[in-house]
Amino acid sequence: MNETKEITRIEAFFLPAGMSFETTTSTRILTSEGPVELLIPVLDGEKLKMIIANLSRNRSDYLSTLSTSEIIERIAVASEKWLNPSYPQRVLAEQLLPALTGYAADSIRLQLKRYMRTFRRKELLRFIGEEFDDPLVLDEFRPRKSGGFSRAYGPKLLFQVFSGNVPGVSLWSMTMGLLLRSAQLGKTSMAEPLMAVWFAQSLAEVDAKLADSIAILPWKGGSEELEREAIRQADTVTVYGGRLAVESVRAKVPIEKKFVAYGPKASFAMIGKEALTPDRMNVTISRLAADVAHYDQQSCMSPQCVYIEDGGSIDAQGFAALIAAELGRLQLRWPRASLADQEAYAILEVRNRYWLEEAAGEGSAVYASTKDAQWTVVYHNTPRFEGSPLNRTLHVYRCRRVEDVIPMLEPAGQAGLLQTCGAAIGPHRMFALAEALGNIGVNRFCHIGSMLQAKAGWHHDGRFNLMDLIRFTDIERTMEDELEQYDPDFE
């Protein structure tokens, strides 16, 4: 069927109006609606220089003259377009992203609309309000409580290196760039180069001049000429991705430039006996299974292991067996992406290791899909902390109380590798658990079932969002007071 249809060509880049470059096409992607090829611009350092010059001009001519509330308004209108199921870019995303990323179409549809809701005006206001007592500080010098005035300035040129693991993660970064009046050059990953482009198009539909300060370009990570030029001109560099990606960019950024990295992190879940009562058990299992299944654990917010407390109506091994069955059902609903050989080997390695442990009667049990490496649950009768090879591989640890495993998480936490704890425990235990885990480096708690839906304004990897990118200029009280004497009319 697909062969008979015409090839659709989709631009996998976004440039300010009036700029166009020669393009090449990507390998063909087969979608439900026929074959698609992505158009990729052929770039070199000179072209990138032109693009950056254009972005910077457009920024100072227009974006920098807008107020924060004007920008919020435009972003909100652009992203609310995405909440309409027949919005062309959304239709395209729902067709193309499953083919491009391998993630299940229904899972992408669900996650995408949940995600786009976090860009409503109220959420954007909250996002800024989270970090600025007085958001007008982004627009003008504002009085400080201690006297004097301050104003915040965003980067003039923000070079952002996006990762391709979760569709759309780049959108918050683009939003931040806009709120800070930065010209932005976004480098996308070929694993998912499209969402940032489509979002820029939505912005352009709302305000073409605003979008003219954005360029979204895919190139192969590590391309020396392009990255050197981008970094040379940018005053701030942000990078999202794995260790290698982050380190490769970091090595090129001189110390006087601002460098913000969101490197690899792992998340986990904790289930208290309160969530394992007969009436709650099934919901608990299906919520956690959904967290595992969405985006095949490729998000840093995805749980890689779960600690199951004794004393519930099922024990940890029963939980492992049941969540395995649930993952089996989810495979029908949201089939997992097909794996690269290396990914399959990594899962095989873990399965082998624990099959051997199980065979030796050492307290592990493996629950694994038989036909294919679609899902794997490994039960352990004593708690430890172990990363997962991902792609729906979950370690289930039995523990007496979830609080008991904190020391085992500590090394990974101290190394800065832990991020989200999805928890289901009694409310009286919340603060003590959060306190203890926060102390070792965990930076986000949420209920299971919503691990992948961080709220607008969350402290991403425990840090500020806008605050990390801005600089302040202060007018001190002495200046304010003493300058009065130079007024000719001063007594």
Partner 1 sequence: MRPESKTIINAVKAYIERHSVINADSMASEQAFGELALQLFQFQCEYNSAYRNYAKLKRKLPNQLDSWRDIPPMPIQAFKRSPLACEPPEEAAAVFMTSGTTNPEQRGRQYHPTFEVWDASMSTGFRSFVMGDIGKLKILSLSPAEDIHTNSSLSRYLSQALRLFGTSGSQSYFQQDGLVVEQLLDDLRACEEQGEPVLLLGATFAYVPLLDTIEKLGIRFRLAPGSRILDTGGFKGKSREVSVNWLYEKFEQCFGVPRTLCVNMYGMTELCSQYYDTTILTGAFTKMKLGPAWLRPLVLDPNTLLPVAEGNVGVLAHFDLANWNSCVAILTEDIGVMEGGRFELIGRIAGSEARGCSLAVEQFIQSNGLQTS
In the complex, which residues of this chain contact partner 1 (CB under 8 A)? 163-166, 169, 189, 191, 240-244, 262-266, 297-300, 302, 304, 339-350, 352-353, 355-356, 358-361, 371-373, 384, 386-390, 411-412, 415, 417
- Kindly tell me which of 74 and 265 has the beta carbon lying closer to partner 1: 265
* Residue with smaller CB distance to partner 1, 58 or 298: 298
**CA distances for 254 relative to 20, 26, 107, 244, angstroms:** 31, 33, 40, 18
| Enclosing H/E stretch for 119 | none
Min CB(382)–partner 1 separation in Å:
12
Question: What is the edge-to-edge ordering of all strands in the sheet holding 258-262?
Answer: 214-218, 183-188, 157-161, 236-240, 258-262
Task: Give 153 or 355: the residue with its C-beta nearer to partner 1.
Answer: 355
Output 30 or 356, the one with its CB closest to partner 1.
356
| Alpha-carbon span 447 to 454, nearest angstrom | 11
Four-CA torsion 146, 148, 149, 150, nearest 10 degrees: -60
Nearer to partner 1, 315 or 386 (CB): 386
69: three-class secondary structure by DSSP: helix
Nearer to partner 1, 29 or 191 (CB): 191
The least CB distance from residue 244 to partner 1, in Å, is 7
CB of 59 to partner 1, least distance (A): 28
Of 347 and 425, which has the nearer Cβ to partner 1?
347
Closest approach of partner 1 to the CB of residue 364, in Å: 10
Six-digit token string for 97: 């992203």
- Residue number, 352 or 473, with CB nearest to partner 1: 352
Of 104 and 275, which has the nearer Cβ to partner 1? 104
Tell how strand 23-25 and strand 34-41 pair up.
antiparallel
- Residue 404: helix, strand or coil by DSSP? helix
Q: Which is nearer to partner 1, 76 or 365 (CB)?
A: 365
Nearer to partner 1, 68 or 298 (CB): 298
Angle at which helix 45-61 crosses helix 224-233, to 10 degrees, equals 30
Partners of 420 in the beta sheet? Answer: 444
As measured in angstroms, the least distance from the Cβ of 92 to partner 1 is 22
The pair phi, psi for residue 303, each rounded to 5°, is -70, 135
Beta strands in 33-105 (DSSP E): 34-41
3-state SS class at 149:
strand
Nearer to partner 1, 27 or 342 (CB): 342
* Cα end-to-end distance, the chain, whole Å: 89
In the bound complex, what is the minimum distance in angstroms from residue 303's beta carbon to partner 1? 10
Q: Among 219, 232, 97, which Cα is nearest to 162's? A: 219
Q: From the CB of 353, what's the least distance to partner 1, in Å?
A: 6
Nearest approach in angstroms of CB 299 to partner 1 is 6
Least distance to partner 1, CB of residue 98, Å:
15
Write the single-letter amino acid at 143: P
Residues near 145 by beta carbon (within 8 Å), at least 6 away in sequence: none
Backbone phi, psi, residue 308, to 5°: -110, 125
The residue among 305, 299, 272 whose CA lies nearest residue 408 is 305
Shortest Cβ distance from residue 254 to partner 1 (Å)? 24
β-bridge mates for residue 85, sequence order: none
Nearest partner of 240 among 301, 179, 292, judged by Cα: 301
C-alpha–C-alpha distance, residues 254 and 182, integer Å:
20
- C-alpha distances in Å from residue 39, one per residue of 23, 29, 35, 354, 434: 6, 12, 13, 45, 47
Q: How far is the CB of 13 from partner 1 (least distance, A)?
A: 20
Least distance to partner 1, CB of residue 167, Å: 11
Please give the single-letter amino acid code of residue 105. A
